[in-house]
């Protein structure tokens, strides 16, 4: 019976009609200050206001179970939310089926720290006001330091740019704000730089649609930062903020793998754009993150292509990781045809 209760999945249909939200499947129960159990979820199909509530979902903080099988709030494709803040958010996990940009209204321990995915469909996000070095204390060579305050647990549904936020409780270093970057924990358990830029105006954290404030600029006490390119779902599961070494922050580069699809038994070439480092580290993974190949190749700045000394032996999906000398990361997925 306990197992069945844990696996119970609630569905709330929230429809805004003459100021009334209509709910289903919860009887007289209500959610807010309540708890969504392990493996359970609530789906919101209409509009939810964190300030006013909606149907059986009252205003305030919604708590969900935190584990490898978390409880979570689901925002359906055409659903909306407004009014999240430090006193009203999802303390736990949020999933969405929005096909475009979506801001996840997540927080922890009275700290609201949303994250926005520019392509959000089928993604699941949770925020932890905890030290990320408890997961791993290994840094990539280009990182000066990382936050000891917070991290996001993210399961991406598709490739996307990512926007992270901060406020006073993030306790950013005022002397190092210019070197701030999003940091991801790679499949080797090492925190590495993801090329990022501080947003000129901050993410609108009180609305679902991934919009930015028209005039409010990012400051030490409140701001947002966005990856320069899309991040692969297979690349990272945890994200935090950190600082790259002053002399190692470089402009982002782009890369393409060709031919693509690739053929078994042949070498492949990486085409580079805006590359300005002296070496590039190449790693080849299977789709299940098994490392097949790793090599640091010396190149000249402004190099436009590199032929890699690796041949695929079997057909299937693969992941190529490209790491510059200054730790800029770019990942492409290569499909190998028989």
Q: Where are the domains of the chain?
A: 2-248, 254-337
DSSP letter at 218? P
- Poorest-confidence range of 116-125, 167-176, 219-228, 311-320? 311-320
Confidence of residue 122 (pLDDT cuts 50, 70, 90): very high
User: Is the model's pLDDT at 19 over the cut of 50?
Assistant: no
User: Is the model's pLDDT at 25 over the cut of 60?
Assistant: no
For residue 296, the model assigns a pLDDT of 82
Q: What is the dihedral of CA 103, 104, 105, 109, to 10 degrees?
A: -140
Rama region for 18: left / alpha / beta (φ>0; ψ in -120 to 50; rest): left
Q: Which residue has the higher pLDDT, 265 or 17?
A: 265
Q: Mean pLDDT score of the chain, rounded to an integer? A: 82
Q: Is the Cβ–Cβ distance between 292 and 285 less than 8 Å?
A: yes
Q: What is the C-alpha separation between 12 and 35, in angstroms, rounded? A: 14
Question: Token pair 């290994």 is at which residue?
Answer: 138
For residue 272, the model assigns a pLDDT of 82
Region 254-337: CATH code: 2.60.40.730
- Poorest-confidence range of 253-262, 311-320, 329-338? 329-338
Neighbouring C-alpha atoms within 13 Å toward the C-beta of 271: 5
For residue 5, the model assigns a pLDDT of 39
Q: Is the Cβ–Cβ distance between 173 and 243 less than 8 Å?
A: yes
């Amino acid at each position: 019976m306990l197992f069945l209760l844990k696996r119970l999945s609630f569905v709330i249909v929230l429809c805004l009609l003459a100021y009334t939200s209509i709910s289903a499947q919860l009887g007289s129960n209500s959610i807010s200050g309540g708890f969504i159990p392990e493996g359970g979820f609530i789906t919101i199909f209409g509009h939810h206001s964190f300030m006013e509530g909606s149907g059986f979902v009252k205003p305030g903080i919604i708590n969900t179970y935190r584990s490898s099988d978390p409880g979570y709030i689901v925002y359906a494709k055409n659903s909306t939310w407004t009014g999240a803040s430090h006193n009203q958010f999802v303390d736990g996990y949020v999933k969405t089926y929005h096909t475009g940009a979506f801001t996840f209204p997540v927080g922890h321990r009275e700290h609201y720290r949303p994250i926005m995915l520019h392509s959000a469909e089928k993604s699941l996000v949770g925020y932890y006001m905890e030290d990320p070095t408890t997961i791993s204390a290994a840094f990539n060579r280009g990182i000066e330091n990382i936050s000891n305050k917070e991290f996001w647990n993210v399961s991406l549904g598709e490739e996307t740019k990512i926007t992270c936020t901060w406020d006073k409780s993030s306790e950013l270093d005022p002397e190092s704000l210019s070197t701030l970057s999003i940091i991801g924990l790679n499949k080797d358990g090492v925190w590495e730089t993801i090329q990022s830029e501080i947003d000129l105006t901050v993410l609108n954290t009180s609305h679902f649609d991934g919009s930015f404030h028209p005039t409010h600029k990012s400051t030490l006490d409140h701001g947002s930062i966005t990856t320069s390119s899309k991040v692969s779902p297979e690349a990272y599961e945890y994200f935090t903020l950190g600082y790259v070494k002053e002399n190692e922050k470089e402009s982002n580069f782009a890369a393409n793998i060709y031919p693509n699809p690739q053929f078994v038994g042949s070498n492949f070439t990486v085409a580079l754009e805006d590359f300005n480092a002296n070496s590039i580290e190449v790693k080849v993974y299977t789709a299940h993150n098994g490392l097949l190949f790793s090599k640091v190749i010396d190149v000249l700045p402004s190099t436009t292509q590199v032929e890699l000394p690796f041949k695929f032996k079997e057909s299937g999906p693969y992941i190529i990781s490209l790491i510059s000398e200054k730790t800029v990361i770019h990942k492409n997925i290569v499909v190998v045809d028989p």
